[in-house]
Amino acid sequence: MLKDATYCLETFGCQMNVLDSQLIEGQLRALGMRPVATAHEADVVLYNTCSVREHAEQKVLSRLGVLRRIKRHQPEKIIGVIGCMAERAGKALLANMPHVDLLCGPGELNQLPALIEEVHARHEQVAALAGSLSRRTEVLQRALEYDSLEALDLARRPAPGQNVLQSYIRVQRGCDKFCTFCVVPFTRGAERSRPPAHIVDEAQMLVDHGAREVTLLGQTVNSYLHQQGGNPVSFAKLLERVHAVEALDRIRFVTSYPADWDEDIFRVMRDFPRICPYLHLPAQSGSDRVLKAMRRPYSAAGYLNLIDKARRYVPEISLAGDFIVGFCGETEQDFQATLELVRRIEYKNLFVFKYSPRPGTVADRRLTDDVPDSVKTRRCNELLAAQLELGLAQKQRLIGRTVEVLVEGFSKAARRAQQAEQERGGEATKDFSRQLVGRSRGDWITVFDGDAGLIGALVNVQLERATPLALQGRVVSVASPPRMPAARRESAHVSLPVLAAG
């Protein structure tokens, strides 16, 4: 059935989900399925879901509400909920929503094509879930099982034309930390580190297809530890090994966990030039009392100490952080401590979330969600307002400097201007149509004018102006032109004259 069928896949949530969706797409395309733009047109509609906050789940529920009506007229359409929400909501979701045909948890995604076939053949609801992982022991048990999902990452081959310039690579699955607010250990299971050789091979394969930057993904990526074969490989060692992949220009990693930090990681960041000076290190709160209630095993002072150390090793380091406001029992004083921490650290950017109780977590079972929503909103806004100022001040300090930028493509403003131009039959508008966008090694978003030929290049940009969202500048030189994927380079060689040796 799958050959020639169409699919529409929508992704919610974190980078791990974005990567999972890319791998699923690879699988579906390999079977001959074709992507279409809307759920309406598709034979198979898939939502790769997120459970971290209630809001993310509600978005999916509203999509499913619309599909219920569509399916009345198109009863053959197959509807699948995959990823974290499938795992969390489990079979109750199938019972409440008879028009949903399949559920597939994030640990079972390699089974997805078989599940679709099964629904098609049997017209029955099917589910592949890790089970009701309601207890820590059950979650940890999964670490001992063979991880069949490794097959999904191993089978990865970018589809022709797929943009791999900046690619994600999974290095670790799951999480063992059990922060009291967080559903991830329940949905993604225990922490498992992938074999370093698989990761290095994947980086090499992506480089061969044209990747210049890879981001290594894990929930607590710095706790990566691969032990099999009697030769333990730490995260610092893994970074060194990925760094050895020739022609890879940039390496990033997310997300880091402030406890159990290995100083070797900072040493590798300092000594290995292609590892970007960027660290996403969620603090969650600046109050020791709240950190304790969250079961985050560090204090605000300990966190600050770690950041000081990071800056001693890598003076240019850019920092990103996550904070939850309005966690159970958070007082005004606790919140002020968070604000104070944010002011002291000076993050490049900040992700602020209003606490959202998640079923099954310790916080939901044992603590009271006692901060009113209006107070959560105010604290969220205050933190973001402080960040806006702090971020702008940092950007202003960069003015006059020249930074290396990896050119990702035309900016949103340029794409809008280009579209408007087309609609008006080529007539020029007030012109953003040549505005390109990219990121510096420190992950600063930078815009500048240039031609399409620069997309995929590393350019040196002199910074001239800061806005709340980005830095603006002009290209002063091309550090490295766009690189052709090895596959295309080989065919291009045929027509090139052979150069005499020496």
Footprint of ligand SAH on residues 179-208 (CB under 6 A)? 181-182, 184
Per-residue mark of binding to ligand SAH, 61-80 (x: CB under 6 A): --------------------
Q: 84 by DSSP, 3-state: which? A: helix
Query: How far is the C-alpha of 142 from the C-alpha of 337, rounded, in Å?
Result: 38
Angle subtended by helix axes 112-122 and 15-30, to nearest 10: 60
CB of 15 to ligand F3S, least distance (A): 12
Query: How far is the C-alpha of 448 from the C-alpha of 471, rounded, in Å?
Result: 9
Residues in the chain: 502
| Binds ligand F3S (CB under 6 A): choice among 177, 343, 354, 483 | 177
Per CB under 6 A, does 8 bind ligand F3S? no
Q: How many CB atoms lie within 10 A of CB 412?
A: 12
Query: How far is the C-alpha of 46 from the C-alpha of 80, rounded, in Å?
Result: 5
Longest dimension (CA), the chain: 76
Closer by beta carbon to ligand F3S, 184 or else 211 = 184
Q: Under a CB-based contact definition with an 8 Å cutoff, are residues 322 and 294 in contact?
A: no
Pick what 355 binds: ligand SAH, ligand F3S, none; C-beta below 5 to 8 Å, kind-dependent: ligand SAH
Closer by beta carbon to ligand SAH, 46 or else 216 = 216
Pick what 185 binds: ligand SAH, ligand F3S, none; C-beta below 5 to 8 Å, kind-dependent: ligand F3S
CB of 232 to ligand F3S, least distance (A): 21
Q: Under a CB-based contact definition with an 8 Å cutoff, are residues 71 and 77 in contact?
A: yes
Per-residue mark of binding to ligand F3S, 217-236 (x: CB under 6 A): --xx----------------
Segment interacting with ligand SAH, rule: CB under 6 A, options 67-75, 349-357, 430-438, 490-498? 349-357
Per CB under 6 A, does 416 bind ligand F3S? no
Compute the Cα dihedral for 487, 491, 497, 501 and give only its sign: positive
CB of 257 to ligand F3S, least distance (A): 5
Half-sphere exposure of 22 (CA within 13 A, CB side): 21
| Binds ligand SAH (CB under 6 A): choice among 47, 266, 335, 355 | 355
Segment interacting with ligand SAH, rule: CB under 6 A, options 72-80, 103-111, 269-277, 353-361? 353-361
Structure tokens at 293: 């209630």
| Binds ligand F3S (CB under 6 A): choice among 45, 85, 94, 182 | 182
Residue 111's φ and ψ, nearest 5 degrees, are -90, -5
Query: How far is the C-alpha of 1 from the C-alpha of 204, rounded, in Å?
Result: 34
CB of 182 to ligand F3S, least distance (A): 3
Pick what 356 binds: ligand F3S, ligand SAH, none; C-beta below 5 to 8 Å, kind-dependent: ligand SAH
Angle subtended by helix axes 486-493 and 196-208, to nearest 10: 40
Determine whether 65 is exposed, middle or buried from the number of CB atoms within 10 Å of its CB (0-12, 13-18, 19+): exposed
DSSP secondary-structure letter at 148?
Answer: T
Q: Which CA distances in Å does 171 have to 20, 94, 153, 479, 496?
A: 13, 32, 10, 30, 39
Going by C-beta distance under 8 Å and a sequence separation of 6 or more, which residues neighbour residue 174? 139, 142, 143, 184, 185, 188, 189, 190, 191, 192, 219
Per CB under 6 A, does 318 bind ligand SAH? no
Per CB under 6 A, does 136 bind ligand F3S? no
CB of 347 to ligand F3S, least distance (A): 17
Question: For ligand SAH, how many residues bind (rule: CB under 6 A)?
Answer: 17
Per-residue mark of binding to ligand F3S, 246-265 (x: CB under 6 A): -----------x--------
Q: 126 by DSSP, 3-state: which? A: strand
CB of 338 to ligand SAH, least distance (A): 12
CB of 402 to ligand SAH, least distance (A): 32
Pick what 353 binds: ligand F3S, ligand SAH, none; C-beta below 5 to 8 Å, kind-dependent: ligand SAH
Footprint on this chain of ligand SAH (rule: CB under 6 A):
14, 52-53, 181-182, 184, 219-220, 255, 282, 284, 322, 324, 353, 355-356, 358
Footprint on this chain of ligand F3S (rule: CB under 6 A):
175, 177-179, 182, 184-185, 219-220, 257
